[in-house]
Structure 1
Amino acid sequence: MSDILLEMKDISKSFPGVKVLQDVKFDLRKGELHALMGENGAGKSTLMKIVGGIHRKDQGTILIENSAVDITSPSAAQRLGIAIIHQELNLIPHLSIMENIFLGREFTVGRTPWIHWKRMRSEAGKYLRQLGLDLDPSMRVDELSVGQQQMIEIAKAISMDTKILVLDEPTAALTDREIDALFEVIASLKTRGVGMVYISHRMEEIFRMCDRVTVLRDGQYVGTERIADTSMDRLVKMMVGREIKDRFPKVALEPGQVKMQVSGLSQKGKLKDISFHVRSGEILGIAGLMGAGRTELAKAICGVTPAEKGTITLDGKPVVIKNPMGAIQAGIALITEDRKGEGLLLSLSVRENLALPNLDALSRFGIMERKKEDELAEDLIRRLLIKTSNGEQKVGSLSGGNQQKVVIGKWLATKPQVLILDEPTRGVDIGAKKEIYDLMNGLVSQGVAIIMISSELPEVLGMSDRILVMHEGRITGEFSRAEANQENIMHCATGGGKHVVS
């Protein structure tokens, strides 16, 4: 008897004017974690959305346990034992954890329509414990962190009788502890014969957990390799069609004068007496676990949620920033971690998104000058290598990496003196990461001061000139590039002690 759970043959799919998949093949075995890799826009999510019944294939064959199937809807996929954990959360915020887990599958008392709350609570608690979550099943989902919400999605998926589980960037918003708990669950599911597809740009995770990897490029099948028989360099070459020699192409520059000084910044329950500086031409990395206060610090500096105490100076002159407009006028720009919720208007075009923070420069007497707007969009699309049909394409239809480039582009056009990047490469493929790193190098060479917040320690270590570490709203460590390593950063990130750069 074959151990193949899922087999896809010659799958093709087009959207208006775009061929997304062409003659793609893929298979998944029982008890296997099979990585699906490729650059943003390579077709990974589209292929899995076909498996999940969200999109219909144009041609090709899908077999589940050697039987041909036509997956016409998400409910049809669910009946076949297929569950997908999407990159974007799919929860109802005002409902409880247990209501979200069993949405549409609620337990009832006998044959009555009354919900059996006690049983729902008990069953939900069982799945939460499997994931190492100490949460009350009756808590509302909007009371949870983004990482906890992601874990509820996973609990919801494993609560079904799932044979095939697709995980699309499942660890993007998780802490190290949550990632370890997830990997324990994955190992348990493998022993039960569940086949899993793992979509991720994090190479370390692929080599830590996966059995095989399939690579797509430009909507076409490139190849399948056993993880034990391949290497990071080979996978990168398969994905981008060329070698990327330096994962973190840091350019060595001598930083200039102090550009921004933050002193005694405090915010009740979030930030406690934060003081630091960043120099012109410097990349200052900020590391820490989820909930450490890194994003809160960025938002306080930029006036999104102003601090209650503390001062900020730019080039030695005090500035008072009460709102984001004040930050823009002062020359400070924030590229938020939540590009879809806070960084973009998905229903607007690439051109309109790029223009948003630059309306004053693109208007005359309060009237927008369309020619200037078009020129700005064309220039940024060309400089940032944004893959779009033109400036009028809706930004919501772009791949994650290209959406991130649009977010970066709109703030670059403001010509900031201080650029704060919060998780700049989250959900971005390795080729686009390299382009973002090259862009950062270009900015610091022009004297821009960059503050980079990242949960990926290799990125922080690879691109920073100096590193600050936060824990529970405080700075607990400061390291030069030479003395920083994962061990001493994690020591400070977990509250193990305070370290100041020598």
Structure 2
Amino acid sequence: MASVRAPAPTSPAEPPGGAATDTTDGVLVEARGITQTYPGVTALEDVAISIRAGSVHVIAGENGAGKSTLVKILTGTESPTRGEVIIGGRPAAEDPQLFHRIGYVPQELSLFSHMTVAENLFMPFEQSGYGGALLNTRRMQRNAAEQLERFKINARPEQQVQSLSVSDQQLLMIARALSHRELDVLILDEPTSSLTASEVERLFDLINALRDEGKGIVFISHKSEEVFEMGDETTVLRNGKLVGTYPMADLDERRLLSLMAGREVDTDERFKPEVDEGEVILQVRGLTGPGFENISFELRRGEVLGLAGLVGAGRTESMQAVFGYLPVKSGDVVLDGEPLKLGDTSASVRAGLLYLSEERKLHGILPLQSVLHNIGVTLFDETARRGLISASKERARVSEIVQRFDVKTSSLGNRIMFLSGGNQQKAIIGRAMALQPKVLILDEPTRGIDVRTKIEVYRIITQLAEAGVGVIVISSEMTELRKCSTRIACLYAGRIQAEFDNETCSNEELVTAIFGGRRDEQ
């Protein structure tokens, strides 16, 4: 376990243009007796938390524990049913401008893709000091260049955000939060999900620097190694209730997981389909396109093929090309003995090939629609007659899918956006399986999901393989691939570097391959 740094005994400097932050015992933000209820649901009940200057405070809990609701209240997005938020020693309900002292970087990308990097970096302009009758674009771009260099973001100030890589967009959101002049507390929700190892290291260096400056950091991550490396203390939530707040030095991974789950969690369990692999169901031969070259492999019925590699290795791009979402320069794909029409996602779906994106909220769910409609949208052929949907058939069929995939929701009428990330993912997988695919490609299927729900997803993957589906899992987590894959292909610089049997290969062989080495180089 990494050593834990004691909170720095500092007094935060006066923010530009405002009075110095008033704190008691170094507390920058405090939530007292927070209760939040929605129709038929109590999301939080009597929760308290204190964020101190010079400290990294972890909020831990399984999906659905209430972390997101608590963050919404801490940032002023929602007002609690009961309780209060104190910022700088003052009740935020009396002065909502106090919430400007809290920056928030969400897990999902939240940028204006058709605006420039500089404009995104300093929005809203009033908070970052660029408000007024005229916008000084030259000064904003000059200052943006300094921030881009500080965060090592590979972009120009005048460049449109949509042309940036996912990892650079993630770093840009963090830089944007820190550009606000009055910032005392920064909340980071799964900040490393799209970052390379070197970018994660750079982010952690930045967090340590902010801690040394007396800022308060709230850190939310389902990666236990990150939590123990960065955290000074952690507040644990379970089912909307406060379990307790603990110094990180008093915890280890097993105890933290048991506090979150309320019982012991087996993190060492392995998942392997208990069936013999069948005939070849998918053949990819010499596939070349933007970001990948000469991709060739075979997938059998009942097999779980893991794709490993660094960010930018071509895993997602090559599989999106197989599905028909990205263009192909050369090569071909054969599905169940028939050539697949490339560049046509509808043809892929009709042939029995499905791809589930890692960007769940952007490309997976219909956030404003109910659970019923999110799953029922794929059931038209089953539930409709002469163009009219039978409401009773749709509800019965969706209920069956919700039960089979253990999607936790109090009602099929709930908007899916209010479900936890893990339950959204299970609903998406259930919807996909209603189409009875022959091959299912899962891109980062457990991104932003807690440990126990990850295990549920691994079990679902195993069950799909045992039912004869060929499954491809793209994951940045080596542990995940070792848990649920039968075979692992490692990509490097757009090419398949090596393939391994998961039962016989070592972690050293896998790591060597994803960094571009070969067996004889170990």
On whether the aligned pair clears a TM of 0.5, the verdict is yes
Give the drift of 1:183.
0.7
Q: 1:222 to 1:297 in 2, by over 3 A?
A: same
Give the drift of 1:397.
2.4
- 1:290 matched to 2:308? The reply is no
- 1:124 matched to 2:144? The reply is yes
2:150 partner amino acid: Q
Q: Distance in 2 between matches of 1:498 and 1:283?
A: 23
Pairing of 1:181-196 with structure 2 (within 5 A) = 181-196=202-217
Q: Distance in 2 between matches of 1:293 and 1:300?
A: 10
Whether the 8 Å CA contact 2:379–2:394 is kept in 1: the answer is no
1:201 aligns to what SS in structure 2?
coil
Unpaired segments of 5 or more residues in structure 2? 1-23
Q: Distance in 1 between matches of 2:237 and 2:268?
A: 20
Give the drift of 1:112.
7.9
Pairing of 1:74-89 with structure 2 (within 5 A) = 75-78=97-100, 81-89=101-109
| 1:220 counterpart residue number | 241
Residue deviations 1:15-49 (CA, integer Å, cap 9, x gap): 22221111001112211111101112211111121
| 1:39 counterpart residue number | 62
- 1:98 matched to 2:118? The reply is yes
2:165 to 145, 164, 171: 145
- 1:364 matched to 2:385? The reply is yes
- 1:167 matched to 2:188? The reply is yes
- 1:333 matched to 2:368? The reply is no
Pairing of 1:59-458 with structure 2 (within 5 A) = 59-70=82-93, 73=96, 75-78=97-100, 81-105=101-125, 113-160=133-180, 161-251=182-272, 253=274, 254-267=276-289, 269-458=290-479
Q: 1:499 to 1:466 in 2, by over 3 A?
A: farther
Give the drift of 1:435.
0.9
1:87 partner amino acid: Q
1:21 aligns to what SS in structure 2?
strand
| 1:28 counterpart residue number | 51
Give the drift of 1:367.
3.5
Q: 1:493 to 1:63 in 2, by over 3 A?
A: same
Q: Distance in 1 between matches of 2:131 and 2:113?
A: 29
Give the drift of 1:104.
3.2
Give the drift of 1:82.
1.2
1:476 aligns to what SS in structure 2?
strand
Question: Number of matched residues?
Answer: 495
Q: 1:348 to 1:480 in 2, by over 3 A?
A: same
Q: Distance in 1 between matches of 2:94 and 2:108?
A: 22
Q: Distance in 1 between matches of 2:32 and 2:384?
A: 53
Give the drift of 1:337.
1.2
Whether the 8 Å CA contact 2:116–2:157 is kept in 1: the answer is yes
1:213 aligns to what SS in structure 2?
strand
Q: 1:483 to 1:178 in 2, by over 3 A?
A: farther
Moved more, 357-366 or 140-149: 357-366
1:45 aligns to what SS in structure 2?
helix
Q: 1:184 to 1:366 in 2, by over 3 A?
A: same
Whether the 8 Å CA contact 2:307–2:475 is kept in 1: the answer is yes
Moved more, 228-237 or 123-132: 123-132
Q: Distance in 2 between matches of 1:396 and 1:141?
A: 25
Moved more, 476-485 or 385-394: 476-485
Whether the 8 Å CA contact 1:479–1:499 is kept in 2: the answer is no
1:413 partner amino acid: A
Moved more, 451-460 or 112-121: 112-121
Q: 1:350 to 1:187 in 2, by over 3 A?
A: same
Give the drift of 1:375.
1.8
Q: 1:279 to 1:359 in 2, by over 3 A?
A: same
Q: How does the TM-score come out when normalised to structure 1?
A: 0.92
1:360 aligns to what SS in structure 2?
helix
| 1:473 counterpart residue number | 494
Q: 1:118 to 1:190 in 2, by over 3 A?
A: same
Whether the 8 Å CA contact 1:265–1:309 is kept in 2: the answer is yes
Whether the 8 Å CA contact 1:461–1:485 is kept in 2: the answer is no
Q: Distance in 2 between matches of 1:111 and 1:5?
A: 26
2:142 partner amino acid: S
Give the drift of 1:218.
1.1
Whether the 8 Å CA contact 2:305–2:485 is kept in 1: the answer is yes
Whether the 8 Å CA contact 1:247–1:434 is kept in 2: the answer is no
Q: Distance in 1 between matches of 2:131 and 2:238?
A: 52
2:168 partner amino acid: Q
Whether the 8 Å CA contact 1:248–1:437 is kept in 2: the answer is no
Unpaired segments of 5 or more residues in structure 1? none
Q: Distance in 2 between matches of 1:91 and 1:125?
A: 18
Residue deviations 1:62-87 (CA, integer Å, cap 9, x gap): 333444432764x4400xx2111122
Q: 1:69 to 1:468 in 2, by over 3 A?
A: same
Q: Distance in 1 between matches of 2:373 and 2:278?
A: 35
Residue deviations 1:473-497 (CA, integer Å, cap 9, x gap): 2112212214545544343333x23
Q: 1:114 to 1:415 in 2, by over 3 A?
A: same
Give the drift of 1:451.
0.3
2:348 aligns to what SS in structure 1?
helix
Residue deviations 1:358-379 (CA, integer Å, cap 9, x gap): 3223333443333332122101
Give the drift of 1:322.
4.7
1:70 aligns to what SS in structure 2?
helix
Q: Distance in 2 between matches of 1:110 and 1:213?
A: 36
